[in-house]
Chain A
């Protein structure tokens, strides 16, 4: 029985204080006009809001909406096999789950969204996570846990039907391809023409291989020891990069974007067919350690350095919609640019993957699902802060497409002036020299901007201006490491999906141990994202500007699928009363994604609509004219082709998701009309024998036997 409401004076006082801190933070953020405010206020507003949301809203969802039941055995307990299923300490599982959901996404989106000022982004990240993102993660986790850890696709098939299930599956695969291409593009843009970055990131390969062999043959299973050695080598590689940069060997690591594309595609293929122990597993350890370490460092850095935000709270691009970083007005485009950190559909795949098979007690979905997502949101807030501490002039000089900025610091300075901001050519040169890069002009993709911001914050705390270059490349390395891990893990997951789908048509290809099948499907997956990567990198109008909206819409569409499935399951299980908990975010998300998608397809404005731009350039080709961005006729044809492909992909995404939504609506209506509840795929109740109330020292918790 849930306890009756009690008001203990101590608890009331504590939560009043937390509310007050959050309110002061919000007040300072909202009321600052015409003066620069400290980033600390943003941090306080965020933390205060998270604390209240976690304490009250997530508890409400757990108790009322989901009715979690700790007397019910979780799949980890019922099906324990010591391999896939075993009850795991909640703190450990929190770490696992957080490491699986957080990557480069929450770091990139907020940086790009800083184009509209720090205020809209901050509000969306915090409100979005509380009412949409964390809710989605927690409820999907719960539903999957009640179904023995089934995936989102399987749940869609069982609870909604074959058509919706198939559409969801194809949608997930297509979205994954775009996601991998965009993330790989962020790496390419960060490493192109930078010997330091290229050297230190390519050194992660031999380091990971060394760790893999060390773990397999010298010290089997000693992961902590191996990871410590790996991280030390990684830091050496960053220092080594600085040395390479200033030596005669620099030219060997000065790679063009096209070269990097081929390296990444080759890497993606080999990494996904090589044994897991050789590359993927050690990389995963490295990236987890770096992730936790750097995020902690960033939080401490922001609090100690307390930088002031140089960006405007709300820029004019929010209303005009003609910002250089991404086109379109605040609604809907801000909400698709910041996906990870506020609402990310991809998390539904992680929440219905390994995590639900490891939960000890049902009530822990709150800490693991809701709590991990709040933490990711905090990472996004810090990324937004890092981008907002830069001079706006520098921000636009780094993030506008090359076509707008022109080739030199002088043209870039002029272009930034036309946007309404100022930065002198000398300042641009100095900024690049401070982080020991050739140039910072047109370094789109978010990673370099974040790295400059992080270097600014870290150097203020540790090492001063002399350490800026080190911190910059540390940040680049940290992001590239995440992304490369996502690229090889994602290629593998994509391969399995493809094998699964193609296996229905031709049996042998579905066999997971048949080598030629593995090679063919890996090559297909790598080829697919490689195509979009190459098209993006060579896009004369700037690949990030073209492809990032596609990625954001795709990710949010996946969230629509997840929220539609969860809403349907809630209604099917007779909880219409609480269906608004996922129904409201679903309605919002559908409004955002379908408006954005519609504009991307049908807008007459060539800066927004794929087909409008296509028509404009196609017309110019007929007239034999060159339009801005293109230096020759080949460029013109590339632009026409890319926009056609992007527009078609966009339409396919929308149709797939629409299929799922219609199917869900039909099931909901059927459930409401049925006199009896419709059958559910939930596993039957089994009483739990795990007792967590007995006091136990931490050492004795699951798996802690020494």
Chain B
């Protein structure tokens, strides 16, 4: 059981850090409105990233 809990935590962390969990959050934030499909949402995200570059250090 302990192992399963650790695995669940790891999965949660990996999904959060990669931004995989963002879609669900977005849908939950906009209830009632027609939600984009996963593909549409990802396209929207990458369009957004196109104009908002992140600095990375060395």
Q: Which residues of A contact B (CB under 8 A)?
A: 82-84, 86, 88-89, 91-92, 95-96, 99-105, 108, 179, 183, 215-216, 220-224, 227, 275-277, 280-281, 285, 288, 340, 344, 346-347, 349-350, 353-354, 485-486, 489-490, 492-493, 495-496, 512-513, 555, 698-699, 702-706
Contacts and interface: CB of A to CB of B under 8 A. Distances in A.
A346 B57 CA distance: 6
Given A100-B57, A220-B38, A340-B57, A704 B16 contact: yes
B52 to A, nearest CB: 7
B22 A703 contact: yes
A101 B8 CA distance: 27
Interface residues of B, number: 39
A485 B56 contact: yes
Contacts of A227: 18
Contacts, number: 126
A-side interface mostly: helix
A216 B11 CA distance: 22
B13 A92 contact: yes
A512 B55 contact: no
B29 interface: yes
A272 to B, nearest CB: 9
B2 to A, nearest CB: 14
Interface in B1-58: 8-9, 11-26, 28-30, 37-39, 41-43, 46, 48-58
B17 to A, nearest CB: 5
Contacts of A179: 58
B20 A183 contact: no
A229 B50 CA distance: 25
A703 B58 contact: no
Interface of B: 8-9, 11-26, 28-30, 37-39, 41-43, 46, 48-58
A703 B24 contact: yes
Contacts of B39: 216, 220-221
Contact of B41 (A215, A221, A223): A221
Given A276-B49, A512-B51, A706-B24, A223 B57 contact: no
Given A216-B42, A513-B51, 20 more contacts: A82-B29, A82-B30, A83-B48, A84-B52, A92-B16, A92-B17, A105-B57, A215-B42, A221-B23, A221-B39, A221-B42, A224-B15, A344-B57, A485-B56, A486-B56, A486-B57, A512-B51, A698-B9, A699-B8, A705-B28
B39 to A, nearest CB: 4
Nearest to A483: B58
15 contacts: A84-B52, A89-B16, A99-B17, A216-B46, A221-B20, A221-B39, A221-B42, A224-B11, A275-B46, A276-B49, A344-B58, A353-B55, A486-B57, A698-B9, A703-B16
